[in-house]
Chain A
């Protein structure tokens, strides 16, 4: 099947409209247009397309500036943030000057290679090469994104896209970045700390206050009320008399919080009928949303999340080094 490319001329640059390619699930050739413009409103298809772009072995494809048409923004839904990260952002937000610079930069970068197609590499090398190509031409860093479509709640959208399920994506992305940082190719800075399920690494956890006696988490919390005048202390329910608060000990009405009474704390009541335990300090149990495993908080896996930037040593290797650069060969 052949697709007739639709090209628009804007500010002297060739914009390839991607709608038909996205519909047909096909990649355009690397030499089509200066910029690719996403004008499809089907979020999941757009995401799939962009992931294919970055897995391409053709540098001209995966380094191509890709912008999103502003009108599609409302249609992207849950995928909006990831699509934003897999592209170069919205057309509107990109000034013509910035765009021209990006196009030139990509052009200049591609020009240094004898062959725009990557040689056969193992997957980790392949991903790192992609990271350096992209971050170098964009002058950007690798910043984690909060996302509920990831295993832990944090994603590195471009790197994760090389893998086919969120579990692989989590394991491999972290491993690749960690090793590259250890070898001095990348520098990392702290971004956040996460607590993860000890069985499946999921970051989606449900925290329960539980009854220390029977572990039930169906609890009722009730504030304690202290009536100053007569020193009676009891749960708020002791004082309730048709919509009014009346002290059960001295039968006076309670009026002003802080003046004639206060609430010095709260008490939990276990709603398990066999237990009915009353207590103030409720231990926390953590239940994994994905696999259902129950933890005490200290059993959770604590992981740090980092941002990464290109290190000089990495630039020497991936940008100027190993895989053959024309200027070097020529000199």
Chain B
């Protein structure tokens, strides 16, 4: 061990910057500037702006409460009945009261219909709709949308619960800015103490959602309003015909909204507590689904964003570019370089892995410190400090591997169309029509 550290420190001290640059240029040129410098600057800018425009936000909030529009909380789900009573309770505590709750049961095979019907009878759910045959998440959301009466639709996952002011917070941006097409809420992991898997996701969500989305939103590049918690004007959703077949339907609808030149915003103060997968296996499955949708939607379905035509928008192109580049190209580059080093200069690997770990550990630390300024309860976040050394492994190796596998599977094998997350009947049609 001593030997290793001696060797490591020796190499650091005598590192040949030319070699380092040759292999690690993208870390210095891309990762560090984007994740540290840019994020820090924008975070500071965004927080300052928020404080400076406090009065405007307060005005928007008053406008919202003066108009007090009916809002539809739309919760589609499959076999999610067990989460409903908790969700209902979190809705009853909302500071914004003028909403209706529509729950759509997408062909559940468990006790969901019984739970839903009894909550509807009690008046806790305003409308409980059930499709006897499963049709997929998009169809369930569309079924609810068809019967929604609200001016705004707040889309929620059944296994999430809202902070008491979350509805008010997620609606305020519609009154703060013009032509807002969607507002995404901030997701916080609710079951962070369930397992190491959920603890790592807790840290990841804070880093990529709470901080990351605030940054992309400020840059005008925010492109996935999460289905777990997002708000939309109903008229706009109706105009788009609602959601298309998933997976990744939340990202898809956001793109469609952006194409119509509406603003898509992230609201960090609208907090939604969400339940994340507890096992590595379940998490891997979930992330493969998410990653496949990058290929399916960014590269295939919405390929027009890449070409200048009459609907061309630079920010859409940049949003896609950012998404595809940092999620896709960099991952392949990373693998390419690692393999190349192993072939060309295998002895350099001795330095390469510890070096990269050191860099990304520092990066995680910086991000952790930034997050402390953003989150609601820094003390809860601080308790998870000891898990920071795992972050470079989680983000740099585990997530990368899962993502890359999914990209390959989707690019060459169209795996998303085989995912049982959608019923076969809809996947077949989606494939047929390139949806």
A interface residues with partner B (beta carbon < 8 Å): 212, 224, 226, 228-235, 238, 248-250, 258-260, 262, 264-265, 267, 278-281, 283
Contacts and interface: CB of A to CB of B under 8 A. Distances in A.
B242 interface: yes
A20 B433 CA distance: 85
B150 to A, nearest CB: 14
Contact of B146 (A234, A259, A265, A281): A234
Interface string B114-148: 00010011000001111111011011101100110
Sort A-B residue pairs by CB-CB distance and give the 9 closest, nearest first: A264-B131, A249-B241, A231-B138, A233-B143, A228-B429, A229-B429, A228-B426, A231-B139, A233-B142
B142 A232 contact: yes
A207 to B, nearest CB: 18
Contact of B129 (A232, A250, A260, A280): A280
Nearest to A252: B433
B214 to A, nearest CB: 31
Given A231-B243, A265-B132, 17 more contacts: A228-B135, A229-B432, A229-B433, A230-B435, A231-B136, A231-B138, A232-B142, A232-B241, A233-B135, A234-B142, A234-B143, A264-B133, A267-B147, A280-B127, A280-B129, A281-B121, A283-B121
A321 to B, nearest CB: 57
A271 to B, nearest CB: 16
Contact of B425 (A228, A238, A283): A228
Given A260-B429, A262-B425, A280 B139 contact: no
Of the candidates A249, A278, A279, A280, the one having the most CB atoms from chain B within 10 angstroms of its own CB is A280
A262 B429 contact: no
B147 A231 contact: no
Contacts of A278: 127, 147
A267 B129 contact: yes
A280 B128 contact: yes
A262 B138 CA distance: 15
Contacts of B429: 228-229, 260
Interface of B: 107, 117, 120-121, 127-133, 135-136, 138-140, 142-143, 146-147, 241-245, 425-426, 428-430, 432-433, 435
B241 A229 contact: no
B241 A262 contact: no
B147 A265 contact: no
B129 A230 contact: no
Contacts of B130: 265, 280
7 contacts: A226-B139, A228-B429, A233-B140, A249-B242, A262-B425, A267-B147, A281-B128
Contacts of A235: 146
A258 B132 CA distance: 13
A235 B136 CA distance: 17
Contact of A229 (B132, B140, B142, B435): B435
B131 A265 contact: yes
A258 B428 CA distance: 12
A264 B241 contact: no
Contacts of A228: 135, 245, 425-426, 428-430
B155 to A, nearest CB: 14
Nearest to B133: A264
Contacts of A258: 425
B426 A231 contact: yes
Contacts of A230: 241, 244-245, 435
A233 B143 CA distance: 5
A224 B104 CA distance: 13
A232 B138 CA distance: 8
Contacts of B430: 228-229
Contacts of A281: 117, 120-121, 128
A92 B427 CA distance: 67
A267 B129 CA distance: 8
Contacts of A265: 129-132
Contacts of A262: 133, 135, 425
Of the candidates A233, A279, A283, the one having the most CB atoms from chain B within 10 angstroms of its own CB is A233
Of the candidates B128, B139, B435, the one having the most CB atoms from chain A within 10 angstroms of its own CB is B139
B135 A231 contact: yes
B123 to A, nearest CB: 10
Contacts of B146: 233-235, 238
B34 to A, nearest CB: 35
Contact of A224 (B136, B143, B428): B143
A233 B241 contact: no
B5 to A, nearest CB: 57
Nearest to B104: A233
Nearest to B246: A231
A178 to B, nearest CB: 37
A127 to B, nearest CB: 47
B142 to A, nearest CB: 5
A281 B142 CA distance: 19
A135 B241 CA distance: 73
Contacts of B117: 281
B131 A233 contact: yes
Contacts of B243: 231
B301 to A, nearest CB: 12
B139 to A, nearest CB: 5
B105 to A, nearest CB: 10
Contacts of B107: 264
A102 B116 CA distance: 64
